[in-house]
Amino acid sequence: MVVPPAKRAKYENIAGLSNQTVATATLPLEDADMDPVQEQEPSTVAADDSPLPVSTSPLDYENGIFLGPMVRIGTLPTRLLSLEYGADLVWGPEIVDRAIMGTQRRVDPRTGVIEYLKDDKQVFSCHPIERPYLVFQVGSANPEQAAQAVKIITEHDDVAAVDLNCGCPKPFSTHAGMGANLLSTPDLLCNILTAMRRAAPPHVAVTCKIRLLPTQEATIALVDQIVRTGAIECLTVHCRTKDMRPREPALLDRLRDIVDHVNATAKSLHRKIPVVCNGDCWDASVAPRIKELTGVTSTMIARGAEANPSCFRTEGNLSVPDTIAPKLIQYSLALNNPIGNTKYCLGQLAFKPSESIPKEVQLQGKTKMMPKKQLSALRSGISQAKTQEDLAKVFNIDPEHVRSQDVDAIILRDLKEALSKRARTTSGGFDGQRVGAVVGNANEGARDGTGSSGGQGAEDGHASGGGQSRATDNSPQPEWKQLLAEKIGKHIKDEKSLLYYALSTVEAQTSVHDAAKPHVRYVVHRGFVNEKRDGDASGGIAPQNPNFGSSPCLMTTTDVRTPKVQQLISQSGIRAQGTDGSHGGEGEIAWWIESAQLQFRISGTLHVLPTEGHPLRSSFPYDRLTPPRAPGSTSTEPFDWDGERSRIFNKLNPGLLASFCRPTPGSAHPNLDALDTARPKDDTSSPWPLELPQPGKEETEQQRQQLRESEKNFALLVIEPRSVDVVNLADDTRTIYELKPGQNAATGEWTKRRVVP
Ligand SMILES: Cc1cc2nc3c(=O)[nH]c(=O)nc-3n(C[C@H](O)[C@H](O)[C@H](O)COP(=O)(O)O)c2cc1C
């Protein structure tokens, strides 16, 4: 842990630079030298006394090694390199709330890079491949503005967590009340955290990074207050006080008491809030010692990664001039990182003889280090470069070749391989608990419907026999839907359970050492979009709105606070993205109809439609899923999706209506301690209503309020089918129906092919 003098000198330089660079937090990357600080206005936000929403974030902060937040350094190329070389989670650079407010979000369809732009300048950029591991750090001294920043960055589900910077000691940050100044205004600090928790969707974690206060007593009082907000999932402690310089050794010996206190307080709240140790962890080889010393299970590296992002490797650092610098240039070229930032990151890399050969080779004492002269030529090449091309030339890289390569297949290949390798191997590495992660879903688009009939004779998959059958009087339907609807109608009287089907989703990997996990549950079929039962109609089904026809999109319901919702939106492949910015998640239904000996496996995209004001509403494909217009209808009204959602909500039974106003499903039971000892008559097991009257039949103000709360948590789940696999055990046949490529499920045409059962 002793820093060699050469390294110290460099870090002092870096620290000097960091004084300036942290100041750039409000600025587009290219404008680092302008004065970034705008006065923060005092908060006018009214205190919200309602219970704080519980996070359902799947992130695992234990047993990890993380890239710390660094202004200008923690940009996309550094983060991707860090992930590639073993970081479990990566913090982005601090972005001040007002900087992200008012930005435009732009996605580059070729590279996948997501940019937040103001006046055409990049304030922040990220890539879907890092999304499960990406923490967005906010600088703020105002709960309302912090909440707005969080809403902006989580609206399209671009990050896994949001973090509050409570550690920056530089005057430009502290004079505005942000950064380390929040340490002396703990009520404001906690109000910002709770505002962030309320603003973030449940599956996005809120965390916080602090420094030590001068006394241990004050530090423990502060962390106690922070933990008791219930707002955070993890606390990072930079083990220096506000007045300490970066070159002064971190006060690691003060951390153990703090860790013990956080663990005990979190336990008393039935929570787990891991503490992450930051300060003087230079590379993965130092981490075990820090853990032993402090009692944490995770560490965070900042300056070590600034100098060499391969510092997360348990096998030792890779060579900066041979591997790291060229890779950083490649990522920057391929992903269009702003030149000023690429140059800055390259300039901060450790071009020193000791970093010119990998550590494991150094240890063998065999290889010669790169001569100083050669290294200084590289350094001066970087500082003179004016364009990405100039930078590439310094390292003999052909920029056109890099730019012509497919981002998904070639540029991100090493990163994907590294992530999937960690998924497959249990590391015997530095803590023996790292299990590995899985690559994201970047290839989803490749499977998109085409060419799958493979010579098996695809036919028209619409209901046949005297033209097209109709589910309602005004709409032709695919054959599989006709078959399903017919069997439901025929057998529902004798087989009540046929209205339940199993719905599976995929939970994204929660750390780079984990794998994606399937989840299955039974849900109730709530009909097809715009269909209602009507005894007088032919086939017993009539359109809810006669200006529209039937749709083969299925409906069920969900609670917006459940993990299912987060699984849906986090597993959104390219295939599930609409041109209107909508995106759903991957899902599959397995539906067994015993009386007919039929299994339907319906694969497709799942879309959540919550009530007004919920951030997920912007992901719903309102137009694409609109049912076909009824023949002869001259109406131009849009389909009333909210009417459809309310219709299903109003029909829920009293027990289900009440279930939506309980605390978050799956969260700790509020009467946990009393449950085992309660007598049968003690009402401890359900301190919430068991039934609610249907809307319009409320008898008390309390019921009205509870129903409002239920509706707020209720969402319609619409399943947009893409392929349907029907197995008929009675006839021993199997038929696969597929939506024709490029068509949408609400109105599109289907193919049909028979396969071996
Ligand atoms: C260049 C640079 C930029 C930094 N920017 C931030 C920042 O944006 N937010 C933050 O919380 N800390 C920031 N820090 C502090 C680091 O995250 C970290 O707390 C500190 O460097 C101690 O960790 P280390 O010893 O591993 O470097 C920055 C540090 C450096 C060197």
% pLDDT > 70, the chain: 81
Q: Is the CB of 168 under 6 A from ligand 1?
A: yes
Strand partners, 533: 541
**Of 143, 219, 148, which Cα lies nearest the Cα of 187?**
143
Q: Which two tokens stand for residue 73?
A: 């350094």
pLDDT at 632 (0 to 100): 82
Cβ distance 140 to 189 under 8 Å?
Answer: no
> Residue 114 contacts by C-beta under 8 Å, 6 or more apart in sequence?
105, 106, 107, 108, 125, 126, 127, 128, 156, 158
| Pocket mutation for ligand 1, best pick of 182, 303, 308 (most atoms within 8 Å of C-beta) | 303
Q: If DSSP codes are grouped into helix, strand and coil, which group holds residue 578?
A: coil
**488, 554, 568, 695 from 499: Cα distances, Å:** 8, 12, 22, 24
pLDDT at 586 (0 to 100): 84
Q: Is residue 526 scored above 80 in pLDDT?
A: yes
| Continuous segment of H or E residues that includes residue 659 | helix 654-659
Strand partners, 696: none
Q: Is the CB of 92 under 6 A from ligand 1?
A: no
Average of per-residue pLDDT across 34-58: 60
pLDDT at 584 (0 to 100): 78
pLDDT at 469 (0 to 100): 45
Identify which has the larger pLDDT, 30 or 184: 184
| Pocket mutation for ligand 1, best pick of 10, 14, 21, 22 (most atoms within 8 Å of C-beta) | 22
Top-level CATH class of 57-317? alpha beta
Cβ distance 610 to 625 under 8 Å?
Answer: no
Q: Is the CB of 713 under 6 A from ligand 1?
A: no
pLDDT tens sequence across 404-419? 999 988 999 999 988 8
CA 144, 145, 149, 152 dihedral sign is positive
What are the residue boundaries of the structural domains of the chain, listed by start?
57-317, 319-425, 454-634+717-755
> Residue 166 contacts by C-beta under 8 Å, 6 or more apart in sequence?
179, 180, 182, 183, 189, 208, 209, 210, 211
Average of per-residue pLDDT across 425-446: 26
> Residue 297 contacts by C-beta under 8 Å, 6 or more apart in sequence?
62, 63, 64, 274, 291, 431
| Pocket mutation for ligand 1, best pick of 65, 66, 70, 137 (most atoms within 8 Å of C-beta) | 70
Cβ distance 146 to 97 under 8 Å?
Answer: yes
pLDDT tens sequence across 550-571? 889 999 999 988 777 777 766 6
Query: What atom of ligand 1 comes closest to residue 209's alpha carbon?
Result: 11
Average of per-residue pLDDT across 709-722: 93
Judged by average pLDDT, the poorest of 303-312, 337-346, 472-481, 598-607 is 472-481
Q: Is residue 428 scored above 70 in pLDDT?
A: no
Cβ distance 122 to 116 under 8 Å?
Answer: yes
CA 391, 397, 401, 407 dihedral sign is negative
Burial class (CB in 10 A: 0-12, 13-18, 19+), 522: exposed
Most confident of 11-25, 339-353, 476-490: 339-353
Nearest CA to ligand 1 atom 22: 279
pLDDT at 23 (0 to 100): 29
Q: Ligand 1: distance of its center to the CA of 89 in Å?
A: 15
Average of per-residue pLDDT across 72-88: 97
Query: What atom of ligand 1 comes closest to residue 25's alpha carbon?
Result: 8
What count of other Cβ atoms lies within 10 Å of the Cβ of residue 695?
A: 18
Judged by average pLDDT, the poorest of 299-308, 682-691, 709-718 is 682-691
Q: Is residue 39 scored above 90 in pLDDT?
A: no
pLDDT tens sequence across 670-696? 787 777 777 766 677 778 888 999 888
pLDDT tens sequence across 334-389? 999 999 999 999 999 988 776 766 666 665 655 667 778 888 889 999 999 999 99
Q: Ligand 1: distance of its center to the CA of 229 in Å?
A: 25
Helix ranges restricted to H, 42-168: 76-84, 97-100, 143-154
Catalytic residue numbers read 168
Q: Is residue 42 scored above 50 in pLDDT?
A: no
Q: If DSSP codes are grouped into helix, strand and coil, which group holds residue 731?
A: coil
Measured torsion, CA atoms of residues 186, 192, 198, 204, in degrees rounded to the nearest 10: -100
Q: Which two tokens stand for residue 119?
A: 């006046």
**Of 137, 172, 246, 210, which Cα lies nearest the Cα of 23?**
172
User: For the structural domain made of 454-634+717-755, what CATH number should be given?
Assistant: 2.30.110.10
Identify which has the larger pLDDT, 86 or 21: 86
**Single-letter residue type at 397:** I
SS3 content of the chain, % helix, strand, coil (to 5): 35, 20, 45
Q: Ligand 1: distance of its center to the CA of 21 in Å?
A: 10
CA–centroid distance for 457 within its chain: 41
Judged by average pLDDT, the poorest of 16-20, 183-187, 316-320 is 16-20
Average of per-residue pLDDT across 455-479: 51
Residues 570, 157: Cα–Cα separation, whole Å: 7
CA–centroid distance for 740 within its chain: 31
Q: Is the CB of 301 under 6 A from ligand 1?
A: yes
3-state secondary structure 428-471: CCCCCCCCCCCCCCCCHHHHCCCCCCCCCCCEECECCCCCCCEE
pLDDT tens sequence across 492-525? 888 888 899 999 988 766 656 667 788 899 999 9
pLDDT at 577 (0 to 100): 60
pLDDT at 542 (0 to 100): 84
Q: Is the CB of 23 under 6 A from ligand 1?
A: no
Average of per-residue pLDDT across 591-611: 93
Q: Is residue 241 scored above 80 in pLDDT?
A: yes
Q: Looking at residue 638, what DSSP letter applies?
A: P
Average of per-residue pLDDT across 266-278: 94
pLDDT at 298 (0 to 100): 96
pLDDT tens sequence across 614-648? 777 878 888 889 998 887 888 889 999 999 999 99
> Residue 312 contacts by C-beta under 8 Å, 6 or more apart in sequence?
65, 67, 82, 85, 86, 87, 283, 284, 301, 305
pLDDT tens sequence across 164-215? 999 989 887 787 899 999 999 999 999 999 999 999 998 899 999 999 999 9
Residues 599, 546: Cα–Cα separation, whole Å: 31
Q: Ligand 1: distance of its center to the CA of 641 in Å?
A: 47
pLDDT at 453 (0 to 100): 30
Identify which has the larger pLDDT, 652 or 578: 652
Query: What atom of ligand 1 comes closest to residue 211's alpha carbon?
Result: 19
Q: Is the CB of 21 under 6 A from ligand 1?
A: yes
- Average pLDDT taken over every residue of the chain: 82
Q: What is the band of 749 on the pLDDT scale with cuts at 50, 70, 90?
A: confident
Q: Is residue 456 scored above 50 in pLDDT?
A: no
Q: What is the band of 472 on the pLDDT scale with cuts at 50, 70, 90?
A: low
pLDDT at 343 (0 to 100): 96
Q: Ligand 1: distance of its center to the CA of 499 in Å?
A: 55
Q: Is residue 303 scored above 80 in pLDDT?
A: yes
Helix ranges restricted to H, 548-610: 563-570
